[in-house]
Structure 1
Amino acid sequence: MARLLRQTLLAMALFSGGLAYGVWLSSPRGQEWLQQTPLASWSQRTSEGVGSLLPRPEAADSAAPADAVRPSNFIAAVAQKVGPAVVRIDATRTVANPLDPELFNHPLFRHFFPQLPQEFQQEGTGSGFIIDADGLILTNAHVVEGSERVRVHLLDGRTFEGKVKGSDPVTDIAVIQIEGENLPTVTLGNSDQVRPGDWAIAIGNPLGLDNTVTVGIISAVGRSSGQIGAANKRVTFLQTDAAINPGNSGGPLLDAEGRVIGVNTAIFQRAQGVGFAIPINRAMEIAERLIRDGRVEHAFLGIRMITLNPDLVARLNRDPARLSPLTVQEGVLIGEVVPGSPAEQVGLRKGDVIVEIDGRPIRDAEQVQQLVDAAGVGKTLTLRVIRDGQVRIFQVKTGVLPPDF
């Protein structure tokens, strides 16, 4: 009974309020208000109900450009500035069927699977960015490796056929050429000035999600190829915690001003939030040689190396098969000499320890690689080597790194 009474009183109150509102609208003041209020605005507000009580967004300034970005959000500003110059690269290549050829060609197998091809088309997706208005695009070599067709997609919807001008698997850098007009370009930074703790913004196409923006910091600089599990690469890396996933390869790593400081290239398989980029200074050095010559020659001694430290030296000296003990605590031990290489030609041997190159003390294998690469092809290096406890000097003229080394 009490509930029915409350409902009756509420209905009477609502009816009275509505009646009073109608009477007021019929009054001279109400009519004047109706005449001064646009019908569309009045009907929209009354139909919105409770929503009409919420704050309304301020009208956009018609004088402001359509692409204006709030200056307080520097990440959005960088993404908007650089995003149009970041491209998606679709590469098509022919690959062999992974099945064992003997099994594949067996009559019984072919009987049950007669239509199974020996080769098939494989498509891969990566990222890149336009470095020149003439249509030059920087990306990773592994994005276009073995490709027969390259298609480049811009953020504005345009699609171009791309031509690989050059690719260098040793540094994982490649350059693509497209023909177009009014192409957006990036601004290059200086990777030598990058510090741990600096902002890092990555833009790319991970997992097919075009123009994805992630942000973090530079976690470290100067990571060697050996440290990240890519010992065959002749480059040091920037480390970042900005999210980098498959498909980001070849995209730009940017500083807080939107300048390119690196080329995103790898993720650390055993961890999350650990990615690596090739410093842009090194990448552009390789790109310029690819644009000019179509290829890059890397210097080569022909040795496989092991960095020594006191613990490793102690373990090696305990090996009963070792003929003579190591007498140094640091340096680079030659683990193998490649037949026919410059190192073999001058008499370097397995077990020799390199302690100096051109008067510079040697402490790790990456240092040897950097000095050889910096010297270039056809240059003579002076190596100070310890063999059987004795110092020996070798003059080695660098050769050209074989493609399969």
Structure 2
Amino acid sequence: MKIVNQDFEHDPHPLADVDSNLPTSQLDQSQQNTWKKPLTYLGLILAGAGITVASLRLQPHFQVLQPSLPATASQPSVNLATDSNPNFITAVVNQVGSAVVRIDSTRTIKNPNAAIFNDPLIQQFFGYNLPKVPSQEIERGIGSGFIIDSNGEILTNAHVVNGADTVSVTLKDGRSFKGKVMGADPVTDVAVVRIQADNLSAVKLGDSNKLQPGAWAIAIGNPLGLDNTVTHGIISATGRSSTQVGMPNERVDYIQTDAPINPGNSGGPLLNASGQVIGINTAIIQNSQGLGFAIPINTAKKITTQLITTGKVTHPYLGIQMLTLTPEVKEQINSDPNSPITVEESQGVLIVKVAPKSPANTGGIRAGDVIVKANNQTITNAEELQQAVENTSAGNNLQLKILRNGETLNLNLRPKVLPANAK
């Protein structure tokens, strides 16, 4: 489970970027210096707006081992599942529970204290009777997953299995299998694990595009190692952007739920009242209650197909950093006498930075441009532009309408495949 730490005074939209972690090798020194002042000015503007975002990833539930040491009366419910069966949650659990699994993983990590205790100078100063500290430690994690195919294909979070040396899958009936990671996509935090088994119970996948706030939500998983835990609540919101949640490097419009989820629920299913999977539980907000987030199952379906077929996922990128343009941001930029740019539009996406040798750079995009349309669709915020890029296959044309110094320009860009080390 990822824990996100946020502190917002108002709408959290700092440098929301389509390609936030571009390879540093693409930035030569001269171009870094070119953008040093503009970025400083924009940084001061954003700081003045009181916007701060920080995100932390907490692995599902890890231990480190040292090897050597409801509806109102005026508006009755229209959910037939609950009307016809007041014990619908029990019915969902009975229907789906056997398809929810526990995933145990181990990975070897470096012991940060080993170098200190093994330093000859430290040993000489404190004596050679210092305890022997192993250079590596074994980290054990517990997460969740759910079977999507009776022949042993399992969906979970990428952060549950990333870097794992071993993966073990335990079914509800107690049987345990060695798991093989078929592929993991850190950009959407989706992974597929396969076990050698057949005739398994499998979940039914729903349609997350039809979700509405207020609908029932049921979570099943292994929080804190407590197997087959069931919680319930409602869908609090849909379409929460990665930036709003505090994870701008990922490309997901999250489902928000108040169904209690905790570390160890990572990768488990979020279900509707009919027992269909509508999301993969993945993140919570630190020091808060009732703020959990899940990856929409429609997003996971698309990623899963690629992972099973090729073992990897390709994401297009432009190579820009951008900022949603609002009247407030426009006023702050234009009122700053030291600002390197002026903005005439009050709606669109302001380009803050363009990476050298990127598709945006070769396509003619410049810092200070305002993108107002992508493929003839009006762009009002950074999330809409990011989605337009994601929907354009690498190598295909992306038509952009931009405003630059009072002029309207139409540009055709060809997004490239996001480098593997850019995440």
Calculate the TM-score normalised by the size of structure 2: 0.76
Counterpart of 1:82?
96
Q: What is the match of residue 402 of structure 2?
A: 385
Relative to its length, the structure with more helix (as a share) is 1
Counterpart of 2:210 in structure 1: which amino acid?
Q
Aligned to 2:324: 307
- Report deviation, 1:276: 0.7
Corresponding residue for residue 411 of structure 2: 394
Structure 1 residue 338 corresponds to structure 2 residue 360: no
Among 291, 295, 299, the alignment partner of 2:308 is 291
1:3-402 alignment runs, 5 A limit: 72-99=86-113, 103=116, 106-109=119-122, 111=128, 113=130, 115-402=132-419
SS of equivalent to 2:265 = coil
Structure 1, unmatched stretches of 5+, are 1-69
CA distance in 2 between counterparts of 1:391 and 1:270 reads 46
Contact 1:324 1:388 in 2 (8 A): no
CA offsets per residue over residues 297-333 of structure 1, 9 Å max, x none? 0011000111110011100112222244211111111
1:190 positional shift = 1.2
User: 1:386 & 1:286 partners in 2: Cα distance?
Assistant: 34
Structure 2: unaligned runs, 5 residues or longer: 1-83
Counterpart-to-counterpart distance in 2, 1:362 and 1:385: 10
Report 1 or 2 for greater relative contact order, CA contacts < 8 Å, sequence distance ≥ 6: 2
The alignment partner of 2:179 has SS state of: strand
Contact 1:137 1:175 in 2 (8 A): yes
Shift of the 98–306 alpha-carbon distance from structure 1 to 2, 3 Å rule, reads farther
**SS of alignment partner, residue 391 of structure 2:** helix
Displacement after TM superposition at 1:100 (Å): 9.0
Where 1:123 maps in the other structure, the secondary structure is strand
- Cα deviation for residue 375 of structure 1 reads 1.1
Q: How many Å apart are 1:402 and its aligned residue?
A: 1.6
| 3-state SS of 1:226 partner | helix
- Contact preservation (8 Å) 2:117, 2:130: no
Name 2:66's counterpart in structure 1. none
What is the Cα deviation at residue 389 of structure 1?
2.4
Give the aligned partner of residue 32 of structure 2: none
CA distance in 2, matches of 1:100, 1:310: 53
- In 2: Cα distance, 1:274 partner to 1:365 partner: 23
* Aligned amino acid, residue 97 of structure 1: N
Give the number of aligned pairs.
335
TM superposition score normalised by structure 1:
0.80
Match of 2:20 in 1: none
Q: Which moved more, 1:75-84 or 1:343-352?
A: 343-352
Residues 122-176 of structure 1 deviation map (CA, whole Å, 9 limit, x = unaligned): 1111100000011000000000011110000111000000000010000000000
Classify the secondary structure of the residue corresponding to 1:227. Answer: helix
- Between the aligned partners of 2:131 and 2:367, the Cα distance in structure 1 is 52
1:196 CA drift (Å): 0.8
RMSD over aligned CA atoms reads: 1.7
Q: Deviations over 1:274-299 (max 9, x none)?
A: 10111111111110110001000001
Structure 1 residue 344, shift from structure 2 partner: 1.2
Change (3 A) 1:273 1:383: same
- The aligned counterpart of 2:18 is none
Q: Shift of the alpha carbon at 1:205?
A: 0.3
